[in-house]
Structure 1
Amino acid sequence: MALYDQVADLPLEIESCAFETHERETSSEFTRVTTEIVLRGAGETGRGEDVTYDEDDQYALADAEFDLSDEYTLDEYSTHLAEQDLFPEGPSREDFRHYRRWGFESAALDLALRQADTDLPTVLGRTTLPVEFVVSTRLGDPPSAERVRQWLEIDPEIRFKLDATPEWSAELVSELTDTGNVRIVDLKAQYENTEVGQSADTDLYRRVRDGLPDVVMEDPAYTDETAPVLDPARDRISWDVPITDVESVESLPFEPKWLNIKPSRFGSVESLFDTLEYCEHHEIRLYGGGQFELSIGRGQIQLLASLFYPESPNDVAPREYNDPEPTDGLPTSPLAAPTVEGFRRL
């Protein structure tokens, strides 16, 4: 049975919909705002998280009203949701439509599982396993390895996913290599028209390719100019931003060996599950990605990692790792196999 078919027919009864706003400062020097979506019905509560980045979009949602009250199957609910405009104002970016829909879909999946008195691992026939994770961080402006050193003083075994910029020098790359703790370098070239986006940079790509020969290189700009630099490293090139469904995987410039799976980019449970199944069939290695989740969403992406790609360099560290300053005493990798209720890590 197809992965999605195992949850599509779950009965779902919704009586009310409410929202809870969360805010937190981050290590990337911005205030993160997310909204927890709370669906209630038949004496149970389902929760999901909208990870849309624009604060105004989030605050507008807090005052919105949606009449989702009805009895559905999960698939019927998803079809109904696709016909709704979930933004009372905006969105400021079109991809945020997927982010918000995922918040509503994940809340419904949680509610349907809880109403059926079961959980996601049981329904899918999969076992939760301990989850390896990396810490995602930027290296400042001008960039230095100081933040990496701060974390390594706390935990010498910690692993990293780092955001590269053109200012990364050969000396900095060499210093990062010497740690032996970098697993992924995010080149950010697929983030068009955003503050974090980077343009194609063959010199940077060459420095990372040669100076960090074992790391996964995420989201480069693959162009006629950069292809000669990137092609020798195809087996360790990964994609994140473009990946929203099976078709997006098939439309990549070459068949990938690695992909970053961020559930919010897919919008629907069906699209996510179909892509997970496709990648498993095509032997594409996956790792989980986060969106600075502040509430239920972080545990949900950790749960998915534990079921589908537990031994990968997952960017799903406990949310305290995104705080402005490194802190001692945090959970270390791997996270213990989660206890689960519905679609929640407890």
Structure 2
Amino acid sequence: MEITKIKWQRIKMPLKAPFETSFGKVVKKDMILVRVYGGGKVGIGESVAMPYPIYSEETTGTVINMLEEFLIPILLDKEIQHPSEVSEIFSFIRRNNMAKAVLEMAVWDLYSKQTNQSLAGAIGGTSKEIEVGVSIGIEPTIEKLVEKVERFLDEGYRKIKVKIKPGWDLAPLQAIRDRFGYSIPLMADANSAYTLDDIDLLKQLDQFHLLMIEQPLAHDDIIDHAKLQAELVTPICLDESIHSVEDTRKAIEIGACKIINIKVGRVGGITEAKKIHDLCEQHNIPVWCGGMLEAGVGRAHNIALASLANFTIPGDTSASSRYFNEDIIVPEVTLTRPGFITVPEKPGFGFDLNEHLIGQLVLNEKEYTKDSAEKAFIRTN
């Protein structure tokens, strides 16, 4: 593969409405776009890191630092034949998965454009369309929550995910079941808000017949999740605890979960995400693609990932209009029929950039060539 230049841009996009979880409230999408140039093509990636270290230790600031000081110089100093080599090149660097992922995603997109194939096809995806659900944050009132659930069901979404936290759990779930019955696919996402001291409360979730409860316990735990899963009928889905295929192997071996949420940014890139997908498929563990309030570029990469065969549960990749008045891609992501998004077939991630909007939103940017990148630290062995 030819890589001649790399550029990052930091942009902030206002959300249509605040999105609240047990972490806090998000009102703007603060993100990094990375462009990798080569062979007359440009590959694009989008970082999912937040401006504050609440989902993980990474932030938009740490991503910029890692790109500038380490990852971009390292990549420009190497000759690679295939995107799968990028994760191995970066493997000696501890964590910083979101920074690694945004660059690797851009390389995958560049490769698929250079080889004239869709990103989904390049990574081995086979589905022509993907089922999608929607994620609903913590609302001001139960009435507002029920109204949103009704609207999204009317729009055809195939799974409803609601955020929960202590004090906002049993009552909202009961209200949804009372209003819509038990036939709608419903799950709860706790974002690590509980401990084993809450086991009696968590066992009450079984009465709602949920698809799953996502990451109820600590963000870095699998041991207590195994203890909890043994007490629950409801499947546990791990999210924040899974950063690699090794984490996945251990979680499966001890029975810490029955489902895994795969996020490209959390696990360090598409290559690692595929390894996790393949291991889960071998062990009959279904997977689905989670969301991080991505704008269009990240959303398109998620669509490509979710075209892999073992993504059998609808993901969080809703339409662009769910979060933004205008997206950074054209056309925007839309439901091509109720509850489904068509996987793009054009080369690369499948959309064009809305350069006019990006130009309005850019806060700062920087580009590097093989000659200009400061090689502050290059591993030579």
- Same fold, TM-score > 0.5, yes or no: yes
Question: d(CA) in 1 for partners of 2:102 and 2:187?
Answer: 27
Q: Which residues in structure 2 correspond to 1:271-282 (within 5 Å)?
A: 271-282=272-283
Q: Which is worse superposed, 256-265 or 132-141? A: 132-141
Q: Which is worse superposed, 39-48 or 145-154? A: 145-154
With over 3 angstroms needed to count, the CA separation of the structure-2 counterparts of 1:286 and 1:43, relative to structure 1, is same
Q: Deviations over 1:188-218 (max 9, x none)?
A: 22xxxxxxx44442243123222x1133111
List alignment gaps of at least 5 residues for structure 2.
20-24, 53-57, 326-333, 352-381
Alpha-carbon RMSD across the aligned residues, in angstroms, is 3.2
Following TM superposition, by how much is the alpha carbon of 1:335 offset from its aligned partner in structure 2, in angstroms? 2.5
Following TM superposition, by how much is the alpha carbon of 1:37 offset from its aligned partner in structure 2, in angstroms? 0.4
Q: Which residues in structure 2 correspond to 1:22-37 (within 5 Å)?
A: 22-26=11-15, 27-28=18-19, 29-30=25-26, 31-37=28-34
The answer on 1:173 being equivalent to 2:182 is: no
The answer on 1:187 being equivalent to 2:190 is: yes
Question: d(CA) in 2 for partners of 1:270 and 1:207?
Answer: 38
- Could you tell me which residue of structure 2 aligns to residue 322 of structure 1? 323
SS at match of 1:336: strand
List alignment gaps of at least 5 residues for structure 1.
1-11, 85-93, 190-196, 325-329
Question: d(CA) in 2 for partners of 1:227 and 1:342?
Answer: 42
Following TM superposition, by how much is the alpha carbon of 1:275 offset from its aligned partner in structure 2, in angstroms? 1.3
Following TM superposition, by how much is the alpha carbon of 1:323 offset from its aligned partner in structure 2, in angstroms? 5.0
- Could you tell me which residue of structure 1 aligns to residue 378 of structure 2? none
Q: Which is worse superposed, 248-257 or 32-41? A: 248-257
With over 3 angstroms needed to count, the CA separation of the structure-2 counterparts of 1:153 and 1:273, relative to structure 1, is closer
Preserved contact between residue 36 and residue 295 of structure 1 (Cα < 8 Å):
no
Following TM superposition, by how much is the alpha carbon of 1:230 offset from its aligned partner in structure 2, in angstroms? 4.2
Preserved contact between residue 33 and residue 45 of structure 2 (Cα < 8 Å):
yes
- Could you tell me which residue of structure 2 aligns to residue 288 of structure 1? 289
Question: d(CA) in 1 for partners of 2:243 and 2:225?
Answer: 24
Question: d(CA) in 2 for partners of 1:256 and 1:226?
Answer: 7
Preserved contact between residue 302 and residue 317 of structure 2 (Cα < 8 Å):
yes
SS at match of 2:295: coil
Question: d(CA) in 1 for partners of 2:303 and 2:273?
Answer: 15
| TM-score normalised per structure 1 | 0.78
Structure 1 letter corresponding to 2:187: I
Structure 1 letter corresponding to 2:2: E
The answer on 1:104 being equivalent to 2:107 is: no
| TM-score normalised per structure 2 | 0.71
- Could you tell me which residue of structure 1 aligns to residue 161 of structure 2? 161
Following TM superposition, by how much is the alpha carbon of 1:338 offset from its aligned partner in structure 2, in angstroms? 1.6
SS at match of 2:131: coil
Following TM superposition, by how much is the alpha carbon of 1:282 offset from its aligned partner in structure 2, in angstroms? 1.0
Question: d(CA) in 1 for partners of 2:316 and 2:125?
Answer: 21
Structure 2 letter corresponding to 1:183: L
The answer on 1:216 being equivalent to 2:212 is: yes
Following TM superposition, by how much is the alpha carbon of 1:81 offset from its aligned partner in structure 2, in angstroms? 3.7
Following TM superposition, by how much is the alpha carbon of 1:228 offset from its aligned partner in structure 2, in angstroms? 7.3
Preserved contact between residue 219 and residue 238 of structure 1 (Cα < 8 Å):
yes
Q: Which residues in structure 2 correspond to 1:102-251 (within 5 Å)?
A: 102-123=101-122, 126-140=125-139, 143-153=141-151, 155-156=153-154, 157-158=156-157, 159-168=159-168, 170-178=170-178, 179-180=180-181, 181-189=184-192, 197-200=193-196, 201-210=198-207, 212-221=208-217, 230-234=229-233, 236-251=235-250
- Could you tell me which residue of structure 1 aligns to residue 345 of structure 2? 340
User: In percent, how many aligned pairs have the same letter?
Assistant: 20
